[in-house]
Structure 1
Amino acid sequence: MLYLEYRNFQKSRCHSLRKLVVTHNLEQVYVNEIQAVLPDWEIVVGKEIYKEHIPTAEIILGWKKDIKDLLGDSSTLKWVQTWSAGVNNLPLPTLHERGVLVTSANGVHAFPISETIFGLMLALTRNIHTYVRNQSSKHWHHAGLKLEIHGKTIGIIGVGAIGKETAKIAKAFGMKVLGVRNSHLSEEHVDEMYTTAELETVLPQCDYVVSTLPLTKDTKGLFSKKQFQLMKPDSFFINIGRGEIVVEEDLIQALQTGEIAGAGLDVFEVEPLPENSPLWEMENVIVTPHTSGSTEYYDRRVVEDIFLPNLRQYINGEKPPINVVDFVKGY
């Protein structure tokens, strides 16, 4: 990776150039691709040096929590392209008030996260997590293995890019797929679509409940005691969306009392997950450290599939079309 500040002109001329600031370190190949679209711009790249350039940036690619305090009243910022699908960590009201366009990296994670979802589902179903623990102590034990995933019902709560890919994979296992989103519009690989208001109708039908939801004012705390009580006692809950969608104390109680059979969790109310959390020690829980979206292709997908197409439209005086954030909905 290159940790650099890339400029087209001598420093004495930089103050007059429009500026793009990339808050991540990028390989030269991606810097070159961006430069080809912006031949007359100052391009600043690198997590070590971005801060001093934020007040004069027109476009920011990526977001860091300290950027809000760096913008200032004279900020020239017009567009933020995030490095993540979720935008709940951005000061959306402030950006909206300033007239700043925000586009997300939604879609980048569909393959790696859907793979993680099924990795968690299969591990919990086939006791792989238990056998890994047994292996460390050289303990040969059947562990009551009996479940299989074929033919079961999966409820996908949030049928966006990740949900769609998850539904597609579920069909390879002959699963019945129930989808939940804001509309009843049909979707390929989804057998029945419900709205969020109908969540309580969906939960009792599912052997696996998978949350891929973004965090908004409407989804915060969506899964609490009542929802877990509606689920089957032999069902599994998978959360790769956002931790605050779940009332964690209620989830822990549901797992401890047998209201649900187990959980695969990549996100939590507090991250890193505190060492004193009961979730670490629970035999019916698999914990991963918010890594379900990690992939060798992440940078390429953000830059080539989302940012560059958006950038070309922006330079032509048009609104970037991909993943424009709705400030009212919060995603």
Structure 2
Amino acid sequence: MAMRKLVVTHNLEQNLLDQIKQIIPDWELIAGKDKEVWQNHVKDAEIIAGWKQSLKDDCLAPESKLKWLQSWSAGVNSMPLEELEAKDILLTSANGVHAFPISETIFALMLGLTRKIHTYVKNQQTKTWHHANMNLELHEKTVGIIGVGAIGKEAAKIAKAFGMKVLGVRHSGMPEEFVDEMYSSDQLDLVLPNCDYVVVTLPLTKKTRQLFGAKQFKKMKSSAFFINIGRGEIVVEADLVQALKEGTIAGAGLDVFEKEPLSPDSPLWEMENVIITPHTSGSTEHYNKRVVENILIPNLRDYLSGKKPSKNLVDFSKGY
């Protein structure tokens, strides 16, 4: 009888491989970033951890043995969700792995814009000693967190250290610790006028695509800053550019864009009131460790006991 097989499409430290192997001692474990390592094993794999677009044909082929796919990213919008659902393939995300690094990036962007760090960095390059009319502070302001999941929760917790008022928006509208007022998704337009900072941490779904456009920016304060670390397609980028040009909002910190890499022709590059990071807010030295120890191994234990994975099981009807 052929050995059951788990494929990991990433390079993992030996101690992490050993932890996985302890759970499945009788399985064949194939791991490595290079396609040559795993391409001949994909059709036979019962579990695959780490999605690559090149996996699609083999994973969805009639002869595929795939039962469960563990994404290495929190977002699953680029995956063939309808086809996976049709084949009854379980899908779990890496949601939660990014809570610390992304929440740190959120506040780096908020603080950078508020205290004009980006302006001073540019001045440093030209040896320019200039105050730049910096006079804002973060303390006791109001932040709206649009999407209170793992990242939003951590951001809300940090906001409290600055004495901030936290308004949250989530699909269910259910209350959450560190969030002073929670609103449901259809109440977004009620929240925006009250925020000094609007932070988007949403996944990309059919409902969130182009959620932020000219209408939403016009509802924001002209002194408000917009932070997006969710997905670029949640925002109508042309409307954001216009809002920044016209002073409809004060500035933006952006880690994600409609098309990536961001085109050299984008006006966002040259704007004094914009800080750009290249979709790196989730990067962390602890990434693989957290995916394996906090998500993959607990889910693997569930799977081997005949249960569905309990960590981050994707609801195909919601898209996350």
Which of the five TM-score ranges fits, normalised by the shorter chain? over 0.9
After TM superposition, which residue ranges in structure 1, 4 or more long, deviate above 2 angstroms? none
Q: SS where residue 41 of structure 2 aligns?
A: helix
Does structure 1 residue 295 correspond to structure 2 residue 290?
no
* Equivalent residue number for residue 5 of structure 1: none
**TM-score normalised over the length of structure 2:** 0.98
C-alpha deviations, 1:52-89, integer Å up to 9, x for none? 21111100001011111222221000000110111101
**TM-score normalised over the length of structure 1:** 0.95
Does structure 1 residue 259 correspond to structure 2 residue 275?
no
Distance (Å, rounded) in 2 between the aligned partners of 1:241 and 1:222: 12
Does structure 1 residue 192 correspond to structure 2 residue 178?
no
* Counterpart residue type for residue 215 of structure 2: K
Q: SS where residue 177 of structure 1 aligns?
A: strand
Does structure 1 residue 58 correspond to structure 2 residue 58?
no
Match of 1:47 among 15, 27, 33: 33
Q: SS where residue 194 of structure 1 aligns?
A: strand
Q: SS where residue 286 of structure 1 aligns?
A: strand
Q: SS where residue 183 of structure 2 aligns?
A: strand
* Counterpart residue type for residue 30 of structure 1: L
Q: SS where residue 145 of structure 1 aligns?
A: coil
What is the deviation of 1:256? Answer: 0.5
Distance (Å, rounded) in 1 between the aligned partners of 2:67 and 2:112: 45
* Equivalent residue number for residue 8 of structure 1: none
What is the deviation of 1:262? Answer: 0.3
What is the deviation of 1:109? Answer: 0.4
Match of 1:205 among 194, 207, 211: 194
Match of 2:153 among 153, 164, 168: 164
Distance (Å, rounded) in 1 between the aligned partners of 2:78 and 2:45: 20
Match of 1:70 among 44, 53, 58: 58
- Choose 315-324 or 90-99, whichever is displaced more: 315-324
* Equivalent residue number for residue 103 of structure 2: 114
User: How many pairs does the alignment contain?
Assistant: 317
Q: SS where residue 252 of structure 2 aligns?
A: strand
Structure 2: where are the runs of 5+ without partners? none
C-alpha deviations, 1:207-262, integer Å up to 9, x for none? 00000000000000000010001100010000000000000000000000000000
| 1:144-183 alignment, distance < 5 Å | 144-183=133-172
C-alpha deviations, 1:178-230, integer Å up to 9, x for none? 00001221111101000110000000000000000000000000000100011
* Equivalent residue number for residue 324 of structure 1: 313
Does structure 1 residue 219 correspond to structure 2 residue 205?
no
* Counterpart residue type for residue 21 of structure 2: Q
Does structure 1 residue 286 correspond to structure 2 residue 275?
yes
| 1:229-248 alignment, distance < 5 Å | 229-248=218-237
Match of 1:132 among 109, 121, 124: 121
Does structure 1 residue 30 correspond to structure 2 residue 19?
no
Q: Any conservation in 1 of the 2:173–2:185 contact (CA below 8 Å)?
A: no
What is the deviation of 1:152? Answer: 0.3
Q: SS where residue 210 of structure 1 aligns?
A: strand
Q: Any conservation in 2 of the 1:51–1:70 contact (CA below 8 Å)?
A: no
* Counterpart residue type for residue 55 of structure 1: K
* Counterpart residue type for residue 59 of structure 1: I
